Amino acid sequence: MSTPDLNWLFSAHFADGTVLVQDQADTATTPEGKALQPNGSAFTDVRAALTKSPLAFFELHHVERDETVTVDLVTGAFAMNGIPFEAHVENFDPSLYQLELCYWRQVRAERTVGADESVLSERHYVNRYYLGWSTTVDGVEQQVTIAVGGA
């Protein structure tokens, strides 16, 4: 499988002030560009850092355009290009609960197949990026996510 190009990169901001930034190679660095010991993907480093401090907010930024999408893991609010909005049901206050990050990439594959059924080319790409939060209320998981396009 080919490694898809990442059109949206993340920065993870922790309550203790730590910030991890994803680079195009999918490794985590500090905002100053200092690389961490590679432990896998940049998100693996985010999960490892969660053992020391909870996330305050998580932000995606487009690599070519001046666009950002943020989820605040203290209040449950989102922001797109600095404009705040909420995506939860009207009478629910997510700030009263411990919110956990939801983040994943939806990867698609395109194949060109020849007349003899041989694969002539194959391309993998990120179709959408999802981010949001989840929490448990009275034993039932509540989850709110939004999606941004890969292009």
Q: What is the pLDDT of residue 150?
A: 57
Domain residue ranges of the chain, discontinuous segments joined by +: 8-149
Where are any strands of DSSP class E within the chain?
Answer: 8-14, 19-22, 28-29, 55-62, 68-72, 78-80, 83-85, 100-113, 119-137, 140-149
Q: What is the pLDDT of residue 68?
A: 96
Q: What pTM does this model have?
A: 0.84
Per-residue pLDDT of the chain (151 residues; tens, 9 = 90+): 455 688 899 999 999 999 999 988 888 887 776 776 666 788 888 988 899 999 999 999 999 999 999 999 999 999 999 999 988 888 889 999 999 999 998 887 777 777 787 777 777 767 789 999 999 999 999 999 999 985 5
* pLDDT tens for each residue of 27-55: 888 777 677 666 678 888 898 889 999 99
94: which DSSP letter?
G
3: which DSSP letter?
P
> What are the CA-CA distances from residue 44 to residues 22, 36, 39, 123 (Å)?
11, 11, 6, 24
Token pair recorded at residue 60? 């995606």
Q: Where are the alpha helices (DSSP H) in 7-124?
A: 42-49
Q: What residues pair up with 144 in beta bridges, in sequence order? A: 133
Max Cα–Cα distance, the chain, nearest Å: 60
Q: What residues pair up with 119 in beta bridges, in sequence order? A: 113
